[in-house]
Amino acid sequence: MKVVSLDQITSTKVDMEGAKAVCKQIPLGQSDGSPAYSFRVFSVDPGGHTPYHQHPYEHLNYVIEGHGALVEESGAEREVKKGDFALVLPNERHQYRNESKDEQLVMICAVPKEFE
């Protein structure tokens, strides 16, 4: 069993083509012995965004703080804000954007542990 506070978890810059002003933390994952899923926490600074990308696994997301947009495969943008859940299906192109001028967009992203 593990209990940990997010402020105890190291934050690393996301160094991926197309990412801008994004950091990642992994509070629960493979190294903790999780048998199926990893929880990642992404913090996107004002004006930042994740890459516009796709992958062969689902994302289960929960917005902890802030607001922004989830860009869909069609290019349409869906508003996301604190308290919202989002499901991104396998192979669906997507991107998260922080459209705030002064607050971070912070979200939990659960993925199969092999993809943490």
Per-residue confidence (pLDDT) for residue 116, from 0 to 100: 86
Per-residue confidence (pLDDT) for residue 78, from 0 to 100: 96
**Residue range 56-105, pLDDT digits in tens:** 999 999 999 999 999 998 989 999 999 999 999 999 999 999 999 999 99
Average pLDDT over residues 42-53: 97
CA distance 106 to 89: 20
In the chain, where the domains are located? 11-115
Per-residue confidence (pLDDT) for residue 53, from 0 to 100: 94
Share of the chain above pLDDT 90, in %: 97
The rounded mean pLDDT for the chain is: 96
Domain 11-115 bears CATH identifier 1.10.357.140: no
Asked whether 47 and 98 are in contact (CB, 8 A), the reply is yes
Single-letter code of the amino acid located at 12: T
- Read off the tokens for 86: 């989002």
